[in-house]
């Protein structure tokens, strides 16, 4: 191979120079003779360094990397060398693809005719002139405000009623209902629920009533009258000796 002369200004970086050497030697980019490529690259950089002191540091850094790779490739069964070779090959393939795409885009830009003209003046009024009924505008405004309120991040005050609400257990409501039925202060289903009570209290009361009905302790007729089954406890005691 004849002596090659290069000017670093002709290449955008060390990968560009390596890709040029691959093309110059007609190598397959997917099966590079890495040893020959390293020798050519380091030879060029050494020659340039002998004649010029202002060789770009990125070219020298790549030369040092290639020398390290060559040293590793000379060792038998060197997995690190194979990793470095695969990494360099991948970088060259990627750089070659990017360079081809850049050339295609550059060609399109050169062939594309670009004309610039002064902005055209507006014709007619720029204001919105379509007529609408007032109620439609009001409804549109309310819809817009509603969307903004729904998207607003909820503040802490909105969670206070949920966090600070007292917890009412079903067992406590069971005891409350039985006490009222036994003492005669509770006789109708309507007395169990009140708008003044909290939601937790009403839910616990409803679950307590269902539990008492299921257990047979309380009976409810069609008119909502409550009746406690006093024989339930007696029957339970009588059945205990037979168990």
Domains and their CATH numbers in the chain: 8-111 (no CATH), 167-239 (1.10.10)
Q: Does the global pTM surpass 0.85?
A: no
What angle separates helix 57-73 from helix 79-111, to the nearest 10 degrees?
A: 140
DSSP reduced 3-state for 56: coil
> In whole angstroms, what is the distance from residue 30 CA to residue 232 CA?
89
Q: What percent of the chain has pLDDT over 70?
A: 76
pLDDT digits (tens, 9 = 90+) for 204-240: 888 888 888 888 888 888 888 888 876 655 545 455 5
Does residue 1 surpass a pLDDT of 50? Answer: no
pLDDT digits (tens, 9 = 90+) for 188-200: 888 888 888 888 8
More confident residue, 161 or 13: 13
């Amino acid at each position: 191979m004849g002596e090659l002369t290069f000017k670093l200004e002709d290449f955008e970086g060390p990968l560009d120079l390596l890709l040029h050497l691959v093309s110059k030697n007609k190598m397959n980019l997917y099966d590079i003779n890495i040893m020959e490529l390293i020798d050519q690259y380091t030879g060029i950089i050494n020659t340039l360094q002998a004649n010029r002191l202002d060789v770009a540091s990125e070219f020298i850094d790549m030369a040092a990397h290639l020398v390290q790779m060559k040293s590793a490739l000379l060792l038998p069964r060197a997995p690190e060398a194979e990793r470095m070779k695969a990494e360099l090959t991948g970088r060259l393939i990627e750089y070659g693809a990017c360079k081809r795409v850049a050339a295609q885009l550059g060609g399109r830009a050169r062939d594309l005719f670009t004309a610039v003209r002064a902005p055209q003046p507006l014709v007619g009024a720029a204001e919105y002139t379509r007529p609408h009924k007032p109620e439609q505008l009001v409804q549109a405004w309310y819809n817009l405000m509603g969307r903004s309120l729904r998207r607003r991040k909820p503040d802490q005050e909105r969670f206070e009623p949920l966090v600070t609400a007292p917890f009412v257990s079903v067992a406590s409501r069971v005891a409350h209902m039985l006490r009222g039925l036994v003492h005669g202060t509770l006789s109708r289903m309507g007395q169990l629920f009140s708008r003044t009570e909290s939601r937790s209290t009403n839910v616990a009361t409803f679950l307590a009533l269902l539990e008492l009905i299921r257990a047979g302790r309380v009976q409810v007729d069609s008119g909502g009258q409550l009746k406690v089954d006093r024989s339930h406890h007696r029957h339970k005691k009588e059945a205990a000796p037979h168990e």
